[in-house]
Amino acid sequence: MSIKTGVRVSEGLVALEDEPTRLAETLDRIFTRWAKGSGAVSLTVPPLLPVADLALLDVYRNFPQLALVSSALNVSVAGIEQVGQEAVAGEFGPGSLHAAGLALPSSACYGVYLHYRNRQVPLGGELVTLVGQCFRNEDHFDGLRRLKAFRMREVVALGTPDQVTDHLGRSARFLDALAGKIGLPLERRAASDPFYDQSGERAAFQQIVPVKHEYLYRGMAIASVNTHNTFFGERCSISLSSHGPVSTSCVGFGIERWLHALADHFGGDWDQAQGTVEKAETSLA
């Protein structure tokens, strides 16, 4: 189905007009209200993260092909004329750039674990929520389904294994309830988690005990619930009082993919989608 109005996508970059923008705001309000009702506090993290910090999380070992990095222009070496010519041509060559020490993160929750690095979490655990712009160098782009830049609302738990498992259970029940109120057919499916190295003990563990479940609309994941055990607690030295590294889990909602699913489900009628989602919001409040 082709979304008729309100969405313009070019080379994986999207612009939304009023109707889909309003629906995206409503969706994020529902996600955030649920998170706050569960006890989450809001967090804002930098839109750029140091490459060295992401390397600590195995980002570049697990999926380097998705990485996008940020660099500054090296005007003193390349010269203003060369820089200007390359800009008109549409891209800057390596000789015009400084080394890239900053990255555009592919997942919003990375900033959470780095924010808590070398800190201690209280025994009651921590629950935080944030919305982040995520960036992925996909091998192809496809409307709202697969973008180079997209938004992700995440709710992240840091605590004991029981606390993070409880968070996953609450997340699953919320997703089931929201989809039910909207009438949106979703399929829950176990999946591999890219936070884990795809070799060795961690990969073997997730073959036995799934650490990621995706919620799919017509084969497209629009949300996921994930447990990471103590991976991020160990890598970022986040401790739970005197009980060792924290366990973590998160739920992520892809805003633009939710928009695609709703537009598809309601035949491109943004008003009908908006009205149905607002009724769901009222019902869940």
pLDDT per residue as tens digits for the range 153-164: 999 999 999 999
- The least confident of 133-137, 151-155, 205-209, 279-283 is 205-209
Question: Are the CB atoms for 165 and 249 separated by under 8 Å?
Answer: yes
Confidence of residue 191 (pLDDT cuts 50, 70, 90): confident
In the prediction, which pLDDT does 36 show?
98
pLDDT above 60: residue 138: yes
Write out pLDDT tens, residues 83-103.
999 999 999 999 999 999 999
Token pair belonging to 219:
């084969």
Query: What is the C-alpha to C-alpha distance for residues 49 and 71, in angstroms, rounded to an integer?
Result: 12
Q: What percent of the chain stands above pLDDT 70?
A: 92
Judge whether residue 285 has pLDDT over 50. Answer: yes
Q: CA angle, 169 as apex, 21 and 172 as ends, to 5°? A: 35
- Here the tokens at position 191 are 């999946």
- What average pLDDT does this structure show over 196-208? 44
pLDDT value for 77:
97
State pLDDT tens for residues 228-249: 999 999 999 999 987 899 999 9
* pLDDT at residue 241 in the model: 82
Q: 0.85 cut: is pTM over it?
A: yes
Enumerate residues 6+ apart whose C-beta is below 8 A from 22: 274
pLDDT for res 150:
98
What is the residue-wise DSSP string for 17-62? -HHHHHHHHHHHHHHHHHHHHTT-EE----SSEEHHHHHHTTHHHH
